[in-house]
Structure formats: structure tokens, C-alpha cells
Amino acid sequence: MSEGLTDSEKFVNSISERAFLSLWTHPNPIGKKGKELCDCLIVCGIHIVIISVKDIKYKDTGDEAGWNRWIKAAIDKSASQIWGAERWLNSANEFTRQDGRKVELPPKEERIIHRMSVSLGAQRRVMTKSGDLGNGVVHVCDEFSLGAIFGLLDTITDFVGFLTQVESLISRANIIFSGGGIEDLLAIYLLNNYSFPYEEAELLVIDDTIFEGFLDSDDYKAIQKSYETSYFWDRLIEHFIDDLLTDGMFEHGTGQVTSNQLALVQMALQPRAFRANLSEAFSEFLQKPELKIASRVVMGYRNTAFVFHLGPSSDREARVQELGLRCLVVRGRLPDVKVVVGISRDKLGPSEVGYSHDIAYIDLPEWGDELEQQVQTIQEELGYFANASWTRKPPSA
């Protein structure tokens, strides 16, 4: 983490890394003429989240002058920094991290940008200002909403899904927070199956007790319980990040990403509910040797298929080759699946050479006769799915 961060910036970046993992969280990235672009940039898949942090102590003057002074310093300046970063990003194809590593940005025509101001110091003595602040919607978090947003929306897909729904709501309704903040909107969103039940509303006054009530509810306890197993998936991603950042994931000479990074992006794009399903399937696959199967196929978010495979570390070259072929066969057998990610590791138990993981990635939008013949040959000669199990039904999004 960058040494030049303030305490509040360090805190925001730490919870960002915890939520979105280290590979996609970039503290104090470098922009135009070597200057700091923003306080934190999150880039994963086609999503970019620009975060600006301002920690301004509110001074109560007894009139609106104190309010306006704090809003200008904590929110308006934050929004200005965000819009400035966005203008630079709109003309850039990559940026440089503080550690010198270059990060490729998603294609300009595909990018989805979200703006977040973390405005601290008022302790809710100033009414939260959020929405379109002049050059697009800026989501404003304070001391009370920060932990709620990053804690309950701790995958990039869940996070940007909420921001997108809020942006849509703001486009059709005026929102007034009655003493609370964006965390009360979050509670409404989660209680209504990741949506807002306000299609016809033009004015919404959001009460400040909604989020507190949600935390005390059985719904919240059920959500937390259902996600307990999902953090195995996070640890698996971080394992690959630690392993592959120093072992060829990034081709520094060309600046191009490798298939390993693309595989990790697909793993990171899995929402929390899907991570729970994937984690349970993988754990069951590892812990039930009596099933005598070498692979298992599980459907993930947006028709991404995951192939779990077991093979010894004693011959990793053969294991990687087999994993890739199994992924290719899955792509051929499931016409709706374009992307397949394979994960291979040793069986549980003793090992003479230690333990390791391998990862594979296939993205084939088109499927021709030649590939079809290859898949048929693989299946006939190797019988890959005579000892494979399938889990096709994904959890509700």
C-alpha cells in the first residue's frame, strides 16, 4: 500500500482490498504527468470504480455557513477529483500503480464507470448530499455508511450491481435522506431481492431506521448464514494472486495480460451467492473420494462454467494439459457457455512432492465444425466424462 496515504485513505483502501481483493484495488494510481489520479481505483472486468476520500472536520457555525463550507470541502472537491480522473481515464488505455506495475483498462466502448465519494468528518450533522452533482451521479458515503456498503457488498459484481440500481433510481426520483444515508437504501435493496420497488415514485424520503432494523432482522441473519462457506472462494483467488503475480501472470515486456489473469477475473466476478455455491461444490468434490470422479462441472454467474479437477503435482505438465482439454470439452457440450475456467489440484491426503494448484481459461464465442470434431475425438479417445459429475443449476442471482 502506498506510503503517502492519509489514515482515512489507508482505511478506505484496506476495506476495498478486503472486499474486492488486492489484484483489482489500486491505491493512489498515477495519471496525467505522473500525478495522483484519485485516492483509489477499482478495476475488474469492464467495471471501473473511482473513489475519492476527503476527511474534513465539521465546524459548527450555528448557521448554514458551516454546512456549506463542509459540503464544498468534503463532497464538492471530492466530486471534482472524481470527474477529473474520469476525464483522464476516458483518453487512456492503461494506468500505472504506485508500485510501478502497469494495469490495462477495459476497452473504452465497454467500460462502466461508477463514482464514489467517501466524505468523512461531519458525523451526520450535515445532511448527506448524493446523486447527480453536475457531471454524473456520485455516490456519497460517510463514517456510518462506509462499513455497511463495503461489508455487505464485498464482491465487485454485488457492489456495482447496487450502484447501478441506485443510479437508475436517481434518474427517475428525487431522494431525500431523513437523517440517514446510503446504507438505508442498501437495506431496502437487499430486502427486495436486489432491486428497488419504486417504479412510479418521483420523490422518496428515506427514514434513518431502515438499516438498523435490517441488521436486527431474521433476513439479515439468514443472508449471513448462507454466505459462510463462500469465503473459501475468496481465499482461493488470493492464493492464485500470491502465486501468479510472481510467476508470469503479467507479461511486463508487452504489457499484455495472460489467460491466468482472465481466469481470475472470472472468479472475482462471481457474486457472493454464487461463490457460496461454488465453494460448497468444490469442497464436496475434494472431501468425497468415494465418488471416484476426476472432475466436476459447476455453473457460475452469467453462464461461466467452472471445471474442478484432481491430478497429482508429480506431473503438472500432464495435469495442465488434461485440465485444458476438459475445459474444451465442457465448452463443446454446453452451447450457451462461452467461457470456461478450470481449477486443478492434488487430492486430499499425503503427497510425496507437495501440493499445488493450476488454472485454465477458455473463451470461445464461436464454435465451428473443426472444434466440434476435436471435442468428439477427445471424448472418444480419453473418455473424460465417464468419470465426471455435473452441477448445472446455479443459485438465484
CATH number at residue 128: 3.40.91
pLDDT by 10s per residue, the chain, length 397: 445 577 888 888 888 888 888 888 999 999 888 899 999 999 998 999 999 999 999 898 888 888 899 999 999 999 999 999 999 999 999 999 998 888 999 999 999 999 999 999 988 888 777 788 888 899 999 888 988 999 999 999 999 999 999 999 988 888 888 888 899 999 999 999 999 988 888 888 888 899 999 999 999 999 999 999 999 999 999 888 887 665 544 343 344 446 778 899 999 999 999 999 999 999 988 887 665 677 899 999 999 999 999 888 888 888 888 898 889 889 888 889 999 999 998 887 666 666 788 899 999 888 777 777 777 776 666 555 545 555 545 555 4
Q: Identify whether residues 11 and 101 lie together within a single domain.
A: yes
Q: Is residue 168 part of a domain?
A: yes
Of the residues 198, 226, 254, the one at which a domain ends: 226
**220 and 241 assigned to the same domain:** no
Same domain for 114 and 259, yes or no, is no
DSSP H/E element including 139: strand 137-141
Single out the residue in 226, 261, 294 at which a domain terminates: 226
Co-location of 269 and 374 in the same domain: yes
Residue 219 in any domain: the answer is yes
Question: Is residue 205 assigned to a domain?
Answer: yes
Residues 220 and 236 in one domain: no
Place of cell 477495459: 106
The reply to whether 319 falls in a domain is yes
Determine contact, residues 52/27, Cβ cutoff 8 Å.
no
In a domain, 194, yes or no: yes
Instruction: Tell me whether residue 397 is in a domain.
Output: no
Note whether 134 and 251 are same-domain residues: no
Q: Calculate the CA 79 to chain-centre distance.
A: 23
* Any domain includes 396: no
Q: Is residue 2 part of a domain?
A: no
Task: Quote the number of domains for the chain.
Answer: 2
Residues 177 and 261 in one domain: no
- Give the residue from 226, 247, 279 where a domain finishes: 226
Domain hosting 40: range is 7-226
Q: Indicate if 268 and 309 belong to the same structural domain.
A: yes
pTM: 0.86
Q: Does an H or E element contain 361, and which?
A: strand 357-363
What is the C-alpha R_g of the chain? 23
CA distance 25 to 150: 13
234 and 207 inside one domain? no
User: Same domain, yes or no, for 147 and 24?
Assistant: yes
Q: What are residue 344's DSSP bridge partners? A: 309, 358
Length reported for the chain:
397
Both 67 and 180 in one domain: the answer is yes
